[in-house]
Each structure stands twice: as structure tokens, then as C-alpha cells.
Structure 1
Amino acid sequence: MYKLIAIDIDDTLINDDKEVTPATQQALEQAVAKGTVVTLATGRAYASAQAIARQTGLNVPIITYQGALVKNLMDEKVLYERYVPVEAARKLHDYCIEHNLHLQTYIDDKLYARELNQHLIDYTTLNRTQYYIEPDFAKLMELPTPKMLIIDDPAFLDELQPILRELLGDSVHITKSKPEFLEIMHKEGTKGAALTFLANHFGCDLKDTIAVGDSWNDHEMLEAAGLGVAMGNAIEPLKAIANYITASNNEDGVKEVIEKFILNPEQASV
């Protein structure tokens, strides 16, 4: 029996209208009633993710910032946190200034950028996030941050990724949550590391966990989980490593997973 399921938010739990459908909501509640730990695993900031978690009635720790922060919903106690190393943050800042790239960071769960531009407007509109402008952006590099984010053209970011890997070294984890979002965390700030931590926290074997996602930033948790599930709308590389492919986020794919593997496991076959 699966004891824990970790679900990505964007393009996974929520549909293209940014909603959790009543059918999926009911499935979440049924899974919880059966004793399964249902949690979220997202690249979003805690402030953004917790609003969705509370709407869906969850009261467990949730995985945020790609796995760099695991925090209780009830008392907001931090269970797991990994910050971008200061030296890496400084190097990334200097590189982005030199090449005129949009970089944003998160301090105390607040989003900061150096200046207001269309990238920031589009991002905060998409995630319904408040932002703060800090002209003296360099000083923020000295403060603990779970995630830094570059927004740009997807093809350009694909070229930039290996450059930053060489520049920043193996102290950081670099991934994409969307084609235009390149995200930089501590090397242990992955959804896979956070899922492993949560499984231990709940005394649950990893083989008894399910992970559901749609994008490449989900691959570590799909590989760590006993059952890795890709959404029908997932990118092809994620589908290639998944144990199971469910329906899309607009077709209640999460509901299908819960019904098949948690509510009716005797009928399940991968």
C-alpha cells in the first residue's frame, strides 16, 4: 500500500485555469481519509504553495522551492532547508549583471528583483505573487536564499545551463520548472532529496511513495519514489523515465492516480 504521495502543483494538480477541480479535490480527501499522507512538491515559494495546500485541506509538511524548503502547514515549523551557497549566489549575481539577465531571489519567502520588467510582471501575474524591488541587489546575495531564478528565452536558457554549471560548480542544483524558468538551488535542494526526507520523517519506505509531475524539475522525485508518475501533458523526457503515465492536468490525471493506486490498489497494474 502506498503511504505517501507527493504531487507537483503547476500543470499537474491544477488545470490550465489554475484550479483544483472538485473531482480531484474529492480524490485528495479520500486518500487522506484512507490514511495516506498527501503532500505537494513544487518549485513555488512556500507563501504561494501554502495557499493552494490550505485550499485543498492539507495539513502536512509541503515541499517548496524545488525541495530546498520543507515546512509544516499547521505550525509553519521548518523541517528541512538548504540555501544557495553565498559564493555561488555572488557569482550568479555578477554574471547576470554583466550579461544583463533577469535574476530574482527569495528572502524570508519574499520575492526580490533588481528592477521592474516584463519578466517580473509576467511571473508574478502567473503565480499571483507579490514582489519587491531592491536596487542594491548585491547585498541580498549575502542573505539566506532557497532559490534564485533566471527568466529568459527557453533556447537561450538551454545554452546558458552548462555555462552556469561550470561557473557555479557542484555546490548547486540547476533545473527548469518551465521552459523559460532556470532555477538555481543548493545541491540538495531537489524534490527527490525532499521526498526522501519526508519519507523518513513519516517512517515510510521510499518504495511505498508515489511522485506525480509534468516537468524536468520533477525527475529526481519520480526516480526516488516507488511509483513515478508523469502527467499526460508532461514533457517527453519525464514520460520516458516514469513508471506510469496518467491523464493530463485538464483531465483529472491526479484523481486517476489516486483512484488507481491508493483507493483501489487491488485493481492497479502499471
Structure 2
Amino acid sequence: MDYQILALDLDGTLTNSKKEITQPTLEALIEIQEAGKKVVLASGRPTQGVMPLAEQLHLEDYGSYILSFNGGRITDCRTKQAIYNKILPVDCIQGIYETVRKYASQGIDVLTYTPEHILSGIKSNQYTKLESRINQMPVIDASENFLDCVPDDPNKFLVTGDPAVLDQIRKELSKQFHSYLSVYCSDPFFVEVMPAGIDKAHSLLKLLTSIGLTTEQMICCGDGYNDLTMIETAGLGVAMANAQPAVRETADYITKSNDEDGVLHVINEFMR
């Protein structure tokens, strides 16, 4: 198959344990873009949190794409315009905040994003700080007036804290807003609160339609539960050797781990 587009999760997939792209993988990704193929950085991170890696890979020069907020937004790196943008229902925002805030005494925080900052709605915890480090974005304390600070177009909220407490919050939000929101864990200490029906596969299908490609021409690589749908949808769904068991079971192909240049191995096998 003549694969034309490569969608890559970031943490645990494209980047190694040091959160870095190795030089051989970097060079290979630039080489396939020079040959006319497209790269999509597909992440739960906010758009700004993906930008440093996009710049390393010269996505702007080659007209490749960022899929951020787990599919809430797709950005054309060349034009800087959103090809697809799905925001949280306005009527749900206050209810989400009030539900999460009930757990404030248990060390929970709720976050959303501006183009430059992460807004902390309760009190920053160790996982809020981790989100800040991952995305290289500063945290602003918005606990006094969080609802007034939320942008007009929020793509997601992120709830951070102890996994046992987060599971309770996830269940409560899912029950309360089941027809309006998708609520799931991307990590044990992160609960993603997204518009209903939004995931990486949904948004990749929008992108493929807009650029005239098919799922059969797409390779998707990932390691986590939020990568399952895109791996299932792709012409070639690839799990990293370090992927969750359910991801490895779903994939068409298992590559090497993220610390063994697994993405480079995929490129060498299927895109050169």
C-alpha cells in the first residue's frame, strides 16, 4: 500500500522516555515530508504544547498538521488555520466545574487552556505541574474566578489528581453529561473532558476528507487508550511495544518501543 499520511501520538510513541525525538527519527520524518507525505502530530496536548515538536519537524514548511486536544482541533501548520474545531458545550461548563469542585478537599484540580497558558481552577497539584512541564506552558492560578477566565472556545477541561478520586469524578461526569461530553482517563492521574464524540479517529476522518486521502492511505501509531480509535481506523494501525495491552491487541502491527525508535522502524518498513 502507498501510505501517504502518518499520524503519531507523542508521549510514549514519537518521543522517548526523555520526551525527545531522536535524531534518526527526526531525519526520517523530514525525509518523508520532503517526498510529499504528510505527518500529523496527534495528541491530547493543547495546540501550543505540540508546537515545539512541530517546529523541530518543520511541519510548517511541508504543510503537515497538528491534531490537538485529543481531536478537538486540527491545525494546518502552513496556514495556522484550524481545519476542524469542536468546543465544549457552553451550557455544560458551569456544571462541569461545580461537579469537580466538590472534590477540592481531596487535592483535585481542573484545568483549561488559553493559547499561552494553562488555567488552574482549584489548586495546582503535582499533576497540574506535570501537565505544565509536558506542554512547556506556565500555569495561571484562576481559582478565584475560573468561570470568568475560561476562554469562549475551550476544546477541553482536564481534571488532575489522585487516580482513585478521579475515577469517581469520571463516573459522575459521564452520568451527568453522557449525551454532551466524552469523559475518559488518558492517564491514571488525568481525566479528559471533551465534547461528545470527539476522539482522534473522528478528527482524522475530517482531515482525510479535506485533503482527499482515504483511511487506507494512513498509518497511525500510538501506545495509549486514547489512541485506540485511530489505530482501529487506519489502513495500518501500529502499536508501540510499550503500548497498553488493549492497544497491542487491536493493532495490525507492533513496532519497537518508543525508546528503540519504533516510529523510525515503521517508516523504514512501510513508507520508504
Q: TM-score, normalised by structure 1?
A: 0.91
Offset of residue 226 of structure 1: 1.1
User: CA–CA distance in 2 between the matches of 1:19 and 1:76?
Assistant: 24
Give the corresponding residue for 1:6: 7
Offset of residue 139 of structure 1: 2.3
User: CA–CA distance in 1 between the matches of 2:161 and 2:251?
Assistant: 28
Distance change in 2, residues 1:159/1:228 (3 Å): farther
Is it true that 1:174 corresponds to 2:198 in the alignment? no
Which of 72, 75, 79 aligns to 2:79? It is: 75
Tell me the amino acid that sits aligned with residue 96 of structure 1. Answer: V
What secondary structure, in the 3-state scheme, does the structure 1 residue paired with 2:17 have? coil
Q: CA RMSD in A?
A: 1.7
Give the corresponding residue for 2:124: 117
Offset of residue 127 of structure 1: 2.9
Give the corresponding residue for 1:267: none
Q: Runs in 1 of length 4+ with deviation above 6 angstroms? A: none
Give the corresponding residue for 1:105: 112
Is it true that 1:129 corresponds to 2:137 in the alignment? yes
Offset of residue 142 of structure 1: 7.3
Greater mean alpha carbon deviation, residues 189-198 or residues 133-142: 133-142
Is it true that 1:65 corresponds to 2:61 in the alignment? no
Deviations 1:34-75 (A, max 9, x none): 322111100111111011111112222210010001112223
What percentage of residue pairs aligned between the two structures are identical? 29
Distance change in 2, residues 1:231/1:155 (3 Å): farther
Give the corresponding residue for 1:209: 218
What is the aligned residue count?
Answer: 263
Give the corresponding residue for 1:145: 154
Partners of 1:103 and 1:113 within 8 A in 2: yes
User: CA–CA distance in 1 between the matches of 2:55 and 2:119?
Assistant: 25
Offset of residue 14 of structure 1: 0.6
Partners of 2:48 and 2:115 within 8 A in 1: no
User: CA–CA distance in 2 between the matches of 1:245 and 1:176?
Assistant: 23
User: CA–CA distance in 2 between the matches of 1:246 and 1:118?
Assistant: 35
Partners of 1:107 and 1:143 within 8 A in 2: no
Tell me the amino acid that sits aligned with residue 46 of structure 2. Answer: A
Partners of 2:8 and 2:221 within 8 A in 1: yes
What secondary structure, in the 3-state scheme, does the structure 1 residue paired with 2:271 have? helix
Offset of residue 33 of structure 1: 2.6
What secondary structure, in the 3-state scheme, does the structure 2 residue paired with 1:169 have? coil
Deviations 1:187-230 (A, max 9, x none): 24311111101111220011111111111111111112111111
User: CA–CA distance in 2 between the matches of 1:38 and 1:77?
Assistant: 16
User: CA–CA distance in 1 between the matches of 2:114 and 2:55?
Assistant: 22
User: CA–CA distance in 1 between the matches of 2:115 and 2:261?
Assistant: 34
- 1:1-270 matched pairs, under 5 angstroms: 1-59=2-60, 60-100=64-104, 101-108=108-115, 110-119=117-126, 120-134=128-142, 135-140=144-149, 143-263=152-272
Q: TM-score, normalised by structure 2?
A: 0.91
Partners of 2:12 and 2:223 within 8 A in 1: yes
Distance change in 2, residues 1:90/1:208 (3 Å): same
Unpaired runs of 5+ residues, structure 2, are none
Greater mean alpha carbon deviation, residues 31-40 or residues 1-10: 31-40
